[in-house]
Amino acid sequence: MPYTAGDTHAFEAAGQQFLYLVPSGGIVDLNPVASAVLNRVKSNPASREDLLAALPFEAPDIHEAIDELASFRAILDNGEKVEDPPQDVPDKFPLQTMVLNLTNQCNLSCGYCYEFGEDKVATPDGKPKFMSWDTAKMSVDHLFTESAGRRAIHMTFFGGETLMNFPLLKQVVEYANEKAKAEGRYIDYSLTTNATLLTPAIIEFLAENHIGVTVSMDGPKEMNDQLRVFANGKGSYDIIAPKVRSLLDKHKTRPIAARVTLTAQVTDVLKIFKHLKHDMGFHEVGFAPVTTSPNRLYAIENNSMDRVLDQFKTLAYEYRDAAVRGEHHGFSNVSDTLMELHQGINKSHPCGAGLGLVGVGPSGDIAPCHRFVDSDTHALGHISTGIDKAKQQDFLQRGHINAKYDCHSCWARPLCAGGCHHEAFVRYGDTGHPNLHYCDWIRGWTGLCLEIYGEIATRNPQFLNTFDRRKTV
Ligand code: SF4
Ligand code: SF4
Q: Is the pLDDT of residue 99 over 70?
A: yes
Residue 413 has pLDDT above 50, yes or no: yes
Q: Which atom of ligand 1 is nearest to the CA of 446?
A: 3
Do 148 and 185 belong together in one domain?
yes
Q: Rounded mean pLDDT of 114-142?
A: 87
**Residue percentage of the chain with pLDDT more than 70:** 94
Mark whether 60 and 117 lie in a shared domain.
Answer: no
Position 297 scores a pLDDT of: 64
Q: Are residues 96 and 67 in the same domain?
A: no
Say yes or no to pLDDT of 22 above 90. yes
332 within domain boundaries: yes
Q: Does residue 160 have a cis peptide bond before it, meaning omega lies within 30 degrees of 0?
A: yes
The verdict on residue 214 lying in a domain is: yes
Tell me the pLDDT of the chain averaged across its residues.
92
Looking at the CA of residue 417, tell me the nearest atom of ligand 1: 5
Question: Comparing 119-123, 195-199, 416-420, 443-447, which segment has the lowest mean pLDDT?
Answer: 119-123
User: Is residue 454 within 6 Å of ligand 1 at its C-beta?
Assistant: no
Q: Is the CB of 420 under 6 A from ligand 1?
A: no
The band of 472, judged by pLDDT with boundaries at 50, 70 and 90, is very low
Cα 421 to middle of ligand 2, angstroms: 6
Domain residue limits at 62:
3-77
Ligand 1 touching residue 347 (CB < 6 A):
no
For residue 411, which of 448, 442, 452, 454 has the smallest C-alpha distance?
Answer: 442
DSSP state of 290: P
Q: Judge contact between 249 and 207, C-beta under 8 A.
A: no
% of the chain residues with pLDDT over 90: 81
Q: What is the pLDDT of residue 473?
A: 37
C-alpha span between 13 and 107 (Å, rounded): 47
d(CA 51, CA 252): 59
Mean pLDDT of 268-291: 94
What does the H/E/C string look like for 311-357? HHHHHHHHHHHHHHCCCCCCEHHHHHHHHHHHCCCCCCCCCCECCCE
Whether residues 264 and 230 share a domain: the answer is yes
440 lines ligand 1 (CB under 6 A): no
**H/E run at residue 215:** strand 212-216
Domain boundary among 25, 47, 77: 77
Q: How far is the CA of 104 from the centre of ligand 2 (A)?
A: 17
So what's the pLDDT on residue 242? 98
Q: Which residue has the higher pLDDT, 194 or 297?
A: 194
- Condensed to tens digits (0 to 9), the pLDDT of residues 426-445 reads 889 999 999 998 899 899 99
Point out the domain boundary residue: 42, 77, 112: 77
> What is the 3-class SS of 385-438, one letter each residue?
CEECHHHHHHHHHHHCHHHCHHHCCCCCHHHHCCCCHHHHHHHHCCCCCCCHHH
Indicate whether 440 belongs to any domain: yes
Closest ligand to Cα 351:
2
Residue ending a domain, among 77, 100, 135, is 77
Mutate which of 369, 378, 427, 430 for ligand 2? The one with the most ligand atoms within 8 Å of its CB, which is 369
Q: Choose one of 261, 351, 395, 427 to mutate for the ligand 2 pocket test, by most ligand atoms within 8 angstroms of C-beta.
A: 351
Q: Give residue 303's pLDDT.
A: 74
How many residues comprise the chain?
A: 473
Around ligand 2, the residues with Cβ closer than 6 Å are: 350-351, 353, 369, 371, 420-422
Q: What is the count of structural domains for the chain?
A: 2
One-letter amino acid of 300: I
**Residue 8 domain-assigned (yes or no):** yes
My answer on whether 359 and 397 are in the same domain is yes
- pLDDT for 293 beyond 80: no
* Residue 300's pLDDT band (cuts 50, 70, 90): confident
Instruction: Provide the pLDDT for residue 52.
Output: 97
Q: Please indicate, yes or no, whether residues 59 and 132 belong to a single structural domain of this protein.
A: no
pLDDT tens digits, one per residue of 255-265: 999 999 998 88
**Residue 271: DSSP 8-state:** H
Burial 291-317 (b: 16+ CB within 10 A, else e): bbeeebebbbeeeebeebbebbeebbe
Domain identity same for 178 and 326: yes
Instruction: Please tell me whether residues 33 and 176 are part of one structural domain.
Output: no
Task: Judge whether residue 243 has pLDDT over 90.
Answer: yes
pLDDT of 110 reads 86
| Rounded CA separation 136/134 (Å) | 5
Query: Distances in Å between the alpha carbon of 365 and those of 103, 122, 351, 374?
Result: 13, 11, 20, 6
322 lies in some domain: yes
166 membership: H or E segment, kind and range = helix 166-183
Average confidence (pLDDT) over 111-130? 80
Q: How confident is the model at residue 116 (pLDDT cuts 50, 70, 90)?
A: low
What integer pLDDT is reported at residue 294 of this predicted model? 65
What pLDDT was estimated at residue 292? 64
For residue 372, how far is its CA from the centre of ligand 2 (angstroms)?
9
CATH number at residue 262: 3.20.20.70
CA distance 451 to 173: 41
Neighbours of 231 (CB within 10 A): 9
Would 82 be classed as within a structural domain? no
- Compute the C-alpha angle 434/114/172, nearest 5°: 105
Q: Do 102 and 58 belong together in one domain?
A: no
Same structural domain, 39 and 127 = no
- Asked if 64 and 112 sit in the same domain, the reply is no
The pLDDT score that the predictor gives to residue 79 is 64
Statement: residue 224 has pLDDT above 90: yes
- Ligand 1 centroid to Cα of residue 307, in Å, is 21
Residues 6+ apart with CB under 8 A from 136: 100, 102, 168, 171, 172
Q: 356 lies in a domain?
A: yes
User: Is 113 among the domain residues?
Assistant: yes
pTM: 0.93
The protein residue whose alpha carbon is closest to atom 1 in ligand 1 is: 418
Which of 95, 395, 421 gets mutated to test ligand 2 (max ligand atoms within 8 A of its CB)?
A: 421
364, pLDDT greater than 90: yes
pLDDT in tens, 330-349: 999 999 999 999 999 999 99
Mean pLDDT confidence for 163-172: 98
Helix H or strand E segment including 187: strand 186-193
Among 98-112, 116-130, 296-310, 452-466, where is mean pLDDT lowest? 296-310
Q: Does the pLDDT value for residue 59 go beyond 80?
A: yes
112 & 31 share domain: no
Residue 350 banded pLDDT, cuts 50, 70, 90: very high
Kindly report the protein residue whose alpha carbon is nearest to atom 7 of ligand 2. Answer: 420
